[in-house]
Amino acid sequence: MDNKRLSERIKKLEEQVRGLREEKKKIKLLFEEAERRATHDGLTNLYNRRGLQEILEREKKRAERHNYPIGFLLVDLNDFKGINDVFGHQTGDKALTAVADLLRKSVRGSDVVVRYGGDEFLIVCPELQDLTPIKDRILLSLKDWDEGNSFLLSFPLSLAIGENVWWPGKDKTVEQAIHEADLAMYQNKNKVRKGGTRKGMVNTPL
């Protein structure tokens, strides 16, 4: 085989290798996107329930290893059904994405915000027992959002918040701690409703 034919063959092989590398990159990106879609909510881009399970497994092991607590905040968008019924589902989606962005900006870098249900969000707070500072930031951000975004929504957003803390080595499981945060959130919501405000929509948890 002369040098010219050998050079052409090497060039062709190099092109094939480059093509295979590009295909490998594309497959990797597709796989990563599929993984992201499986663990994230399509509307808010927050973690979903499946993603939450992975987070809880990881954080529970770390907490047990270092003996620190995990705080949980259960946040609910008040009167979400009423928003959908009166203003439509597109407006309801806007309200959900607004709350998701608000929560994401209010937490620490180590915290994780999860879309827990239709209008419920769970915030996982590793190494945190006092959740008051985060709640205060959420409420302040909510107040600022309501004052500055009336052009997006014609009504104020309102949240009910419940909290609970899990410690390793105690009788309470992580799931029980989340359930108790959920119960506390509903107690907060019921107090708001009994307050007689418009459709239960107020901005400060009781």
The two tokens of residue 29 are: 């990106």
Q: Distance between CA 55 and CA 177 in Å, rounded?
A: 15
Catalytic residue, chosen from 41, 76, 79, 119, is 119
For residue 171, indicate whether it is catalytic. no
Cβ-Cβ contacts under 8 Å for 119 (sequence gap 6 or more): 76, 77, 80, 96
Residue 167: name the closest of 98, 64, 22 by CA.
64
Looking only at the bridges linking them, the beta strands covering 120-126 and 112-115 are: antiparallel
Strands (E), the chain: 70-77, 112-115, 120-126, 159-166
Active site residues: 119
